[in-house]
Amino acid sequence: MTRIIAFSGLRVVNARAADTKSSSIHFSTKRLFTCVFLGVLFLSLDANAQSTPFHKGVNLTNWFQAPNAQQMHFERYDKDDFETIKAMGCDVIRLPINLHAMAGAAPAYKLDTLFLLRLDQAVTWAEELGLYFILDNHSFDPATDTDPAIGDILNHVWKQLASRYQDRTQLLVYEILNEPHGIADDTWGAIQQEVIDVIRSVDKRHSIMVGGANWNSFHNLKNIPVYDDDNLIYTFHFYDPFLFTHQGATWVAPSMKPLAGVPFPTGSAELPPMPATFSGTWLETAYQRYSSEGTAVRVRELIDIAVAFQQERMVPVFCGEFGVHIPSSPQNDRVYWYKTVRSYLEQKGISWTSWDYHGSFGVFERVEAEGKRTFRLNDPLLEAMGLQNPEN
């Protein structure tokens, strides 16, 4: 605008030349405004391409993670829990489902009617409260590699779910498979493409969540193929440094049960002695490297790997799991880790759901009340996560 005012002060010698110049200036000005408008538009589109419609939430674990529909914990959660989660400040719930266990035998893999009815109820609660709801296919065994032939059952169960929910609100998101591991990136990439195609054959509306191999590692995001679908969300999980987040975990090989009191950040307290069972294993290496790995700086550097993927592909990226095992980790250090991870994810425009709500990584703490053990929301942890306690 300043340049236009400056031009208006020029002395005009030739009227015809002035008219020509005026037209030229007018055209240049229009072109300038057009370029600015388009630039803002493209920046807006780019920003939208890199963000999800939801921001933060929790995983509702050990509800639909059952060996069959009859053994589901029907009463574990109800609509009150959904209301509490929303009142905490969340706008999304990730629901882990042992989906393949809810299916019948090959070749049809028909989904159990009882399971579908219970899932319908949960979907309705989310819709009524305006919560995004991720149907996470958590058919997952950490001790067993993902079968390269898994595409057969994936195609069948997802076609059934997509057919059932194709007309429900766009609050629903389909997550193809949690943490594929022990399977080559190119093999998994091709399987995921087939499942996308199967879902799109019946449902073109709902977002589909895709992830890399190697346990949905942020390192493997770059190995995901460039899929021909503009309604995908790319997910990764974050549990670094593993020595801190999983201290005391019994499901890790070798078991981390003997390890407790690992500080975060490193140097804030003395590192406990390394258990003898770690010797000669990958956990010994993790222990030896903890002085450099157990820092907030390193945590941000690792998250930046996902950020770089987001910026290169211009796609929405979501952290579907992050958290710290409660029983063996120091409370203050755990709170500091959550604040470090959560705040950096949000700074970089990455949405998230923590693992989990009411489990051993959850937002509740055990307390003694009248001689009985009970649970209450952990206020310092909620604050670190940018959430609030609706009971206060």
Task: Report whether pLDDT(39) > 90.
Answer: no
pLDDT score of 392: 87
Task: Report whether pLDDT(373) > 80.
Answer: no
Task: Report whether pLDDT(20) > 50.
Answer: no
Of the listed ranges 14-23, 167-176, 311-320, the one predicted with least confidence: 14-23
Helix orientation angle between 331-347 and 296-313, rounded to the nearest 10 degrees: 30
pTM: 0.87
Give the integer Cα–Cα distance in Å for 323 and 237: 10
Asked if residues 330 and 372 have their Cβ atoms less than 8 Å apart, the reply is: no
Tokens (6 digits) for 94:
């990730």
Give the integer Cα–Cα distance in Å for 81 and 348: 29
Q: Residue 75: which pLDDT band, with cuts at 50, 70 and 90?
A: confident
pLDDT score of 281: 98
pLDDT score of 50: 76
Q: Residue 175 in 3-state DSSP?
A: strand
| Pairing relationship of beta strands 364-369 and 372-377 according to DSSP bridges | antiparallel
Task: Report whether pLDDT(260) > 50.
Answer: yes
Partner residues linked to 94 by β-bridges: 59, 134
Whole-number Cα distances in Å, 190 to 97, 109, 183, 196, 227: 23, 21, 11, 10, 10
pLDDT score of 370: 66
Give the integer Cα–Cα distance in Å for 135 and 208: 10
